[in-house]
Amino acid sequence: MTMTDAHPWSTSLFADLDVEVELDAPLGVHTWYAIGGKADALVRPRSEDALATLLRRCARNGVRVRTLGAGANLLVDDDGVDGVVIKLDAPCFQELRLNAEGAPGRAHVGGGRDLGKTIHETVRASLAGLEPLIGIPATVGGAVRMNAGGKYGAIGDVVESVGLVTPSGERRTYSKDAIGFSYRHTDLPAGTVTWAVLRLKPADTAALRVRLREISAYKASVQPLGDLSAGCMWKNPVIESTGQRVSAGKLIDEAGLKGTSVGGATVSMQHGNFITVRPGARATDVMELVERVGQEVLARTGVRLEREVVFWKRGQD
C-alpha cells in the first residue's frame, strides 16, 4: 500500500498548494519529550494563502487539523495522530518587525517564530516586556494561544493584537480586549495564530541583560532543565475554600510523589510539576504516571489537578 492509498485525501488537499508535505511523519523529533508516534501528514505552508486554503479544504473533507509549535507543551501518543499537523516554519511565519508601522516599541512577530530568539532580539533592541518569559520554550503563536508565562509574567501582558486563520480558512484579527487573557488561557477561538503585535517599552539594554541572567539562573536552580520533559505538567490549581492559587509542584511534593515512576517516566526529584523521561520511555508511561499522580493528589488533598501539557491522540481533538 502506498502512502497515498493510506491517506486518500492527501492528493486533493495538497497537490496544487504551496506547501511542503511529509506523510506518515514521525512527531517525536519535533517535541521536547522526543517520544510518540507519527502524524498522517505533517504540512508546512509557505504562505498564509496556502494555510487558509488548506484549512478550508480540511474542514470541507472532515480532516482533523492540529498546529504544532515548539513541541514543548505536548505529548504525542505512541499510536500517533490522524489527519493533518501544521507547522509554521516558513519565512513568512518567522518575521520580526520592530517599530512596526512607525510606532516605537511595537513589534510585529510571526506566529511560528521562536519565542526565546525573539526575546534576545528585543533585548538587543533595548525593548522591555518579553524578558520575563525567558526560558519558556515556545513559538510566539503557541505562547499566545495558551498565554504562556510564569512567576515573572505572561505574554498576554504585552499583546496588542493577534492574527488568526480559522478552521474554515477565514482570516481574523483580535484585539487584546477580545482575546480575554487569563492564567494559562485565552478566549481565542479555534484556529492557527499566524502573527501577533506586541507593545514593548524602551529600556536600558544592560539592565535587560542582567534581568535575563537573573531569571535564567533562578529557573536553572529549581527546574530539571537538563532532562527530557514537557515543562510543567499541571496548572497551579485554585483552592476553592480560599480562592488562592497554589503550586501544583508543592502539592505533589507534599504528597510524597517525587521520584514516582512508571516505565521510563518519573516525577522529577527537583520539581514535582515536571515529569521526565529516560531513553526507551513511551508516551503511555507518561500518561499512566500523570493519571496516578492526579489520583493520589486528589485523594490526599481533595484538589483536582488540571493538565497544562496537551496530549495528542488519534480520534481526539
Fold of 94-220: 3.30.465
- Res 192: pLDDT: 98
- Res 2: pLDDT: 38
Mean pLDDT of the chain: 94
* C-alpha distance from residue 302 to each of 251, 266, 306 (Å): 11, 23, 13
State pLDDT tens for residues 247-281: 999 999 999 999 999 999 999 999 999 999 999 99
- Res 239: pLDDT: 87
Spelled out in words, what is the top-level CATH class assigned to the domain 224-312? alpha beta
Residue 232 annotated to the active site: yes
Q: Looking at residues 127-131, what average pLDDT do you find?
A: 96
Residue 291 annotated to the active site: no
State pLDDT tens for residues 53-70: 999 999 999 999 999 999
Pick the CATH number of 3-91 from 3.50.50.60, 3.40.50.2300, 3.20.20.10, 3.30.43.10: 3.30.43.10
- Res 8: pLDDT: 66
Q: Which of 64, 184, 199, 300 is catalytic?
A: 184
Residue 58 annotated to the active site: no
Biggest distance spanned by C-alpha atoms of the chain: 61
The alpha carbon of residue 13 and the mean position of all alpha carbons in its chain are separated, in whole angstroms, by: 26
* C-alpha distance from residue 210 to each of 158, 200, 217, 304 (Å): 20, 18, 11, 38
Kindly write down the DSSP assignment for every residue of the chain, as one continuous string. Answer: --HHHHSTTHHHHHTTSSEEEEEEEE-GGGSSS----EEEEEEEESSHHHHHHHHHHHHHHT--EEEE-SSSSEEE-TT-EEEEEEE--SGGGS-EEETGGG-TTEEEEETTSBHHHHHHHHHHTTEESSGGGTT---BHHHHHHHT-EETTEEGGGTEEEEEEE-TTS-EEEEEHHHH--BTTB----SSEEEEEEEE-EE--HHHHHHHHHHHHHHHHHHS-TTSB--SBSBPPPBPTTT--B--HHHHHHHTT-TT-EETTEEE-SS-TTBEEE-TT--HHHHHHHHHHHHHHHHHHHSPPP-B-SEEE-TT--
What is the domain partition of the chain in residue ranges? 3-91, 94-220, 224-312
- Res 129: pLDDT: 96
Q: Which of 58, 113, 131, 308 is catalytic?
A: 308
Q: Which of 44, 113, 232, 282 is catalytic?
A: 232
